[in-house]
């Protein structure tokens, strides 16, 4: 069963403490000032893409929906806040009944984004929206960074499958989220069983060097693995001598050997030699899988090599040099009173250093050229022009606190493939450059 985004609980009783101290002190002060119930609009966006990146990938939306639903101040959490004197008794009473009852709009998960794109819009009272800032940013910044790296790697890999293998290179819970984001970005499987259990991502794996070293001879290790897992298993052939290992592997498994894995050395050279040797031994259908600290550039350099699949770990789960997307969560509009019918007023931060923001509740659309290729990200406030009515990017994810838009992960993954394909060809270039689409404000 594909359990992707079905509202499964997280590994903690509540997500309410996945927030910063000052969110609660702001709430306390706003309650005292009588401004907490003012209708407000917060937006998530990034002012710039990571250096050299051509596009961003929206990932983590499904996890955000789970986090919002699990944002509850249960007795244990309230006791912690009381004991630490984080907020006063009146604020604790308010938190005890907290349930997000507002609306969330956002780019659909798997979609691409650009500087200024209103990736997510959270609407409700100031009090209920401000508390969600940290957890929303934590999820979107992490998952979108991993998905963007995965997307670049998938572009470099072409039709060759990618295996996510980074669990041992990051926090154990981050590893599960990273595997999910990698799948969104184009990876086909994971080594992490927790990711397979929670999100239905296909899991793969056979053996490590330790298994070969355990046995007296490499032949004994290969024989034990084939006896247990069958001839179509993948044998790791670079523990000692690659040429000898390939010969032994084919002797034991025959031409039905599923694959060999190479985890060290000059992968381009070794892959060519191993392919030639396999073919000469009659194992023409045996595949070659390469691992060993790959990133999108290394994958691209192997495009001409006889490689059938790639396993990627460290560079993937660290965003290939960009572990965050620098997304922010800013108040862009608020009512002038607690009256539910009071009009919204645009508000914006004005400061030096590139940290300004644009006020107003925004819509976003993507303009296409005559060939149906995206040519601009168009963002505005107020009524949506007729020409963009059917090109709007934000959809309603939550209405009156009720989640509307959970999707199977395979749907999200397919959406990203389509969105990336709809960008100009230069989007998939690995050379450094500016965002492939300009952002236009109307």
Strands 234-236 and 259-262: parallel
Chain segment 36-82, per-residue pLDDT in tens: 999 999 999 999 999 989 999 999 999 999 999 999 999 999 999 99
24 is written with which tokens?
């609660």
Among residues 219, 170, 228, 216, which one has the least CA distance to residue 195? 170
298, pLDDT greater than 50: yes
Lowest pLDDT segment from 168-177, 262-271, 427-436: 427-436
7, pLDDT greater than 60: no
d(CA 273, CA 255): 17
What pLDDT does 68 receive?
95
369 is written with which tokens?
């050229």
d(CA 182, CA 317): 8
Q: From the CA atom positions of the chain, what is the Rg in Å? A: 25
Distance of CA 305 to the CA centre of its chain: 29
**For residues 65-104, b (16+ Cβ closer than 10 Å) or e, as one string?**
bbbbbbbbbeeebbeebeeeeebeeebbebbeeeebebbb
Chain segment 429-438, per-residue pLDDT in tens: 998 889 999 9
- Number of Cβ atoms within 10 Å of the Cβ of 243: 12
Chain segment 376-395, per-residue pLDDT in tens: 999 999 999 999 999 999 99
**3-class DSSP assignment, residue 154:** helix
- Number of Cβ atoms within 10 Å of the Cβ of 138: 21
What pLDDT does 3 receive?
44
Mean per-residue pLDDT, 157-185: 97
Mean per-residue pLDDT, 302-307: 97
Give the residue with greater pLDDT, 104 vs 382: 104
367, pLDDT greater than 50: yes
- 0.85 exceeded by pTM: yes
**Cα dihedral 377/381/382/385 (nearest 10):** -10
Is residue 99 left, alpha or beta, with left meaning phi > 0 and alpha meaning psi from -120 to 50?
beta
- pLDDT confidence band for 1 (50 / 70 / 90): very low
Q: DSSP assignment of 256-272, as one string? A: G--EEEE-SS-HHHHHH
What pLDDT does 93 receive?
98
What pLDDT does 283 receive?
98
What pLDDT does 13 receive?
54
Phi first, then psi: what are they for 423, rounded to 5°? -90, 160
d(CA 378, CA 414): 24
369, pLDDT greater than 50: yes
301 sits in which H/E element? helix 296-301
């Amino acid at each position: 069963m594909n359990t992707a985004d079905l509202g499964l609980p997280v590994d903690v009783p509540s997500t309410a403490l996945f927030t910063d101290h000052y969110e609660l002190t702001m709430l306390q002060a706003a309650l005292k000032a009588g401004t907490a119930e003012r209708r407000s609009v917060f937006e998530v966006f990034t002012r710039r893409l990571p250096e050299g990146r051509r596009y961003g990938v929206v990932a983590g939306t499904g996890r955000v929906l789970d986090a919002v639903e699990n944002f509850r101040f249960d007795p244990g959490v309230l006791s912690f806040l009381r004991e630490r004197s984080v907020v006063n008794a009146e604020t604790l009473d308010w938190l005890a009944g907290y349930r997000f009852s507002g609306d969330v709009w956002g780019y659909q998960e798997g979609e691409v984004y650009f500087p200024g794109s209103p990736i997510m819009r959270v609407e409700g009272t100031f009090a209920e929206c401000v508390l969600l800032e940290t957890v929303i940013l934590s999820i979107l910044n992490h998952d979108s960074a991993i998905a963007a790296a995965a997307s670049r790697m998938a572009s470099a890999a072409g039709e060759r499958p990618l295996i996510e293998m980074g669990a041992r290179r990051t926090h154990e819970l981050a590893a599960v989220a990273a595997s999910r984001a990698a799948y969104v970005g184009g990876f086909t499987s994971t080594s992490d069983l927790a990711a397979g259990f929670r999100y239905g991502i296909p899991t793969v794996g056979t053996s490590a060097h330790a298994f070969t070293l355990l046995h007296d001879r490499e032949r004994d290790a290969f024989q034990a693995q084939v006896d247990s897992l069958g001839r179509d298993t993948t044998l790791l052939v670079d523990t000692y001598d690659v040429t000898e290992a390939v010969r032994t592997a084919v002797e034991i498994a025959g031409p039905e050997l599923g694959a060999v894995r190479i985890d060290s050395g000059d992968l381009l050279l070794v892959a060519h030699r191993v392919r030639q040797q396999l073919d000469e031994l009659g194992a023409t259908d045996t595949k070659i899988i390469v691992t060993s600290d790959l990133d999108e550039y290394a994958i691209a350099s192997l495009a001409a090599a006889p490689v059938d699949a790639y396993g990627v770990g460290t560079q993937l789960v660290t965003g290939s040099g960009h572990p965050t997307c620098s997304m922010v969560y800013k108040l862009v509009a608020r009512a002038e009173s607690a009256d539910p019918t009071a009009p919204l007023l645009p508000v914006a931060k004005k400061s030096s250093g590139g940290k300004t923001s644009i006020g107003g509740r925004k819509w976003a659309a993507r303009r296409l050229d005559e060939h149906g290729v995206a040519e601009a990200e168009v963002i505005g406030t107020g009524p949506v022009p007729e020409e963009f009515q059917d090109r709007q990017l934000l959809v309603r994810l939550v209405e009156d606190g009720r989640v509307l838009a959970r999707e199977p992960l395979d749907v999200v993954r397919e959406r990203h493939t389509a969105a990336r394909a709809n960008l100009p060809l230069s989007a998939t270039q690995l050379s450094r450059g500016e965002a492939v689409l300009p952002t236009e404000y109307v």
